C-alpha cells in the first residue's frame, strides 16, 4: 500500500449475481483510488477491464477449445440439469445440489495453484470472496480474507430456521429434520473429502457439513432488514448485513417505443441461468401474451430460440438495475440479486423458483407478503396473470414497498460494504506495520 491506496482482490462466483455484486462494491473502491483486481472465472475476460478493474482470470476446468461468453460454464450446466428442477427440493439434494457442490469443489481444486500465483503477484491488502465454497488459496494468505454471502441468508445456518435449499416456511417445522437428515446422507462423504483436502492445503478445518469458513476479519451478507430472518443464535461481531448492494455501472434505459401505451409495465427475468430453459420461457410468454400489461423480457443466452408476444420487448441481456425503477412489478426466479434489487426499488414480485436458494427467497417473499410464490413447472396458465394482477391491484402493498425501497436505498449498501472492506485492510496494514517496527 502506498499513498493510502489499497490493493483489493475480489473472487466472485462465476454466475452473474455474485459477480455483479462484487462489481458494485469494487467500483466504489476503485473510485476512491484503490487498485481493484478481479480473480474471476476465465469466461469474464474483457468484461471487467472496461469498468476500471484489473483482470487476473482463472480457469475452473480445462479451458474450452473456443472462447465462451461470461458465465457460460454455469449456463451449460443448468441447461443439462433443468429436468431436476421439477422435483421437490428434498429430492434435488441428491440429483442437483450435490452435483453442484461437486462441480464447485472440482473448480476449487483445479484453480488452487492459479490463485496462489495471482495472489503472490498482486500482493493484496485484502481479499474478498463472494462464493459458497472455500478456496484454500484465499484463506492461507497473509492478507485478511472477507466473506460475502450474496445468497439467501439461510446459508448462514441457524437451528431455529428452515434448512437452506428447502424452501420450507419459517412457521412450520414439519420436514426440517427430514431435510437435514437427507442433506447429511447425501453430502457427508463429499464434505469429508473436501475438508481433508482443504486442511492439506494449510487452511483450517471447515465447519461441519459446510463448504466454506466464516471469516475471522469480516463477513457481509446481503438482505434487506424488512425481509431478514429472526435468528435464535445471534451472529457474531464480524457479521454485518447490507440492506442492498446495487451496482451503478449499467447503462441508462428508457421504455422503448414498442412498449409505449397503457397497462402496467412488468419486468420478466429468470436470471442468466433460468432463462436457458427455453420451453419454460415459451410457456411464460404464452401465459402473459393475452394480458393488458406490457413486458420487458430478459431473454437470456438462448434468446434466438423463441419469440416474444406483441405486448413484449426484450434482449438477451438487459441492464436490470436500470430497468427495475421503471416497472410496476417483477416476475423473477428468486435469485438473491433480483429479489434484493426489487426490494431496493420497492417492487412487488411473482416468484418462480428453479434451484438453490431461489426456493428460500420465494418462500420468504410469499410469507412476508412482498410477493407470490408459484410452482414454476406446475403453475396453470391462468395462475400467473392472476397472481400478477393481485400484486398490481394491492395499493397498500405498493405504497409500503415504495417507502421501504426509499429507506433501503438511503442505507447505500455498496458504500457501506466498501467502508468495511477498506477498514479491514487498513487495520491489518497498521497492525503489520507496528509489528515490523517493533521487531526492528
pLDDT, one tens digit per residue, over 20-44 is 889 999 999 999 999 999 998 888 8
CB atoms within 10 A of CB 256: 12
pLDDT, one tens digit per residue, over 301-345 is 878 888 999 999 999 888 899 999 999 999 999 999 999 999 999
Closest CA to 418 of 235, 216, 249, 242: 242
pLDDT, one tens digit per residue, over 54-74 is 999 998 888 766 665 655 665
Alpha helix stretches (DSSP H) within 373-412: 383-392, 395-411
3-state secondary structure of 169: coil
What H or E segment, with its residue span, contains residue 322?
A: helix 320-323
Q: How confident is the model at residue 262 (pLDDT cuts 50, 70, 90)?
A: confident
Asked if the model's pLDDT at residue 432 lies above 60, the reply is no
- Please give the Cα distance from 398 to 401 (Å, whole number): 5
7-247+412-439 shares its CATH topology with 257-410: yes
To the nearest whole number, what is the mean pLDDT of the chain?
90
Instruction: State how far the alpha carbon of 370 is from the alpha carbons of 159, 346, 398, 405, 413, in Å.
Output: 25, 9, 9, 12, 21
Lowest mean pLDDT among 40-44, 121-125, 247-251: 247-251
- Please give the Cα distance from 72 to 15 (Å, whole number): 9
The string over 14-27, giving b where at least 16 C-beta atoms fall within 10 Å of a residue's C-beta and e elsewhere, is bbbbbbbbbbbbbb
pLDDT, one tens digit per residue, over 268-280 is 999 877 787 888 8
Q: How is the chain split into domains, by residue range?
A: 7-247+412-439, 257-410
pLDDT value of position 70: 54
Asked if the model's pLDDT at residue 147 lies above 70, the reply is yes
CB atoms within 10 A of CB 159: 10
- Please give the Cα distance from 95 to 90 (Å, whole number): 10
Closest CA to 198 of 252, 138, 146: 138
Q: Across 5-45, where does the E strand assignment appear?
A: 7-12, 35-38
What architecture is domain 257-410? 3-Layer(aba) Sandwich (3.40)
Q: 7-247+412-439: what CATH class? A: alpha beta
Instruction: State how far the alpha carbon of 259 is from the alpha carbons of 266, 283, 297, 331, in Å.
Output: 11, 21, 12, 17
DSSP label of 1: -
3-state secondary structure of 82: helix
pLDDT value of position 398: 95
What are the cell numbers at 412? 447505500
Q: How confident is the model at residue 79 (pLDDT cuts 50, 70, 90)?
A: low
The string over 121-130, giving b where at least 16 C-beta atoms fall within 10 Å of a residue's C-beta and e elsewhere, is ebebbbbbbb
Amino acid at each position: 500500500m502506498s499513498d493510502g491506496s489499497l490493493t483489493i482482490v475480489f473472487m466472485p462466483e462465476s454466475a452473474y449475481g455474485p459477480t455483479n455484486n462484487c462489481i458494485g462494491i469494487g467500483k466504489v473502491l476503485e473510485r476512491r483510488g484503490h487498485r481493484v483486481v478481479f480473480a474471476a472465472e476465465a469466461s469474464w475476460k474483457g468484461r471487467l477491464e472496461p469498468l476500471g478493474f484489473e483482470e487476473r482470470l482463472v480457469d475452473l476446468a480445462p479451458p474450452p477449445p473456443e472462447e465462451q461468453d461470461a458465465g457460460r460454464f454455469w449456463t451449460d450446466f443448468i441447461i443439462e440439469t433443468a429436468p431436476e428442477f421439477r422435483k421437490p427440493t428434498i429430492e434435488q439434494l441428491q440429483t442437483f445440489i450435490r452435483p453442484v457442490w461437486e462441480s464447485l469443489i472440482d473448480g476449487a481444486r483445479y484453480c488452487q495453484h492459479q490463485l496462489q500465483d495471482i495472489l503472490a503477484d498482486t500482493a493484496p491488502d485484502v481479499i474478498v470472496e463472494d462464493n459458497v465454497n472455500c478456496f484454500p488459496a484465499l484463506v492461507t494468505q497473509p492478507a485478511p480474507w472477507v466473506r460475502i454471502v450474496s445468497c439467501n441468508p439461510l446459508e448462514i445456518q441457524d437451528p431455529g430456521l428452515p434448512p437452506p435449499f428447502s424452501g420450507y416456511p419459517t412457521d412450520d417445522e414439519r420436514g426440517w429434520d427430514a431435510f437435514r437428515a437427507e442433506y447429511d446422507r447425501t453430502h457427508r462423504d463429499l464434505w469429508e473429502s473436501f475438508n481433508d483436502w482443504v486442511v492439506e492445503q494449510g487452511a483450517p478445518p471447515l465447519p461441519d457439513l459446510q463448504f466454506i469458513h466464516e471469516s475471522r476479519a469480516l463477513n457481509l451478507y446481503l438482505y434487506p432488514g424488512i425481509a431478514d430472518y429472526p435468528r435464535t443464535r445471534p451472529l457474531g461481531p464480524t457479521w454485518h448485513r447490507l440492506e442492498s448492494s446495487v451496482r451503478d455501472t449499467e447503462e441508462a434505459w428508457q421504455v422503448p417505443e414498442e412498449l409505449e401505451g397503457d397497462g402496467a409495465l412488468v419486468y420478466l427475468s429468470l436470471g442468466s441461468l433460468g432463462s436457458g430453459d427455453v420451453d419454460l420461457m415459451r410457456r411464460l410468454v404464452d401465459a402473459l401474451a393475452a394480458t393488458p400489461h406490457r413486458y420487458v423480457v430478459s431473454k437470456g443466452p438462448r434468446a434466438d430460440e423463441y419469440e416474444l408476444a406483441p405486448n413484449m420487448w426484450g434482449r438477451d441481456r438487459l441492464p436490470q438495475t436500470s430497468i427495475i425503477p421503471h416497472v410496476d412489478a417483477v416476475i423473477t426466479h428468486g435469485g438473491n440479486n433480483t429479489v434484493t434489487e426489487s426490494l431496493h426499488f420497492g417492487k412487488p414480485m411473482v416468484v418462480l423458483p428453479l434451484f438453490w436458494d431461489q426456493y428460500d427467497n420465494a418462500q420468504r417473499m410469499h410469507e412476508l407478503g412482498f410477493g407470490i410464490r408459484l410452482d414454476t413447472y406446475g403453475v396453470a396458465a391462468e395462475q400467473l396473470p392472476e397472481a400478477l394482477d393481485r400484486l398490481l391491484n394491492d395499493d397498500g402493498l405498493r405504497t409500503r414497498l415504495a417507502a421501504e425501497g426509499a429507506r433501503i436505498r438511503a442505507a447505500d449498501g455498496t458504500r457501506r460494504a466498501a467502508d468495511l472492506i477498506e477498514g479491514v485492510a487498513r487495520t491489518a496494514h497498521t497492525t503489520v506495520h507496528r509489528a515490523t517496527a517493533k521487531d526492528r
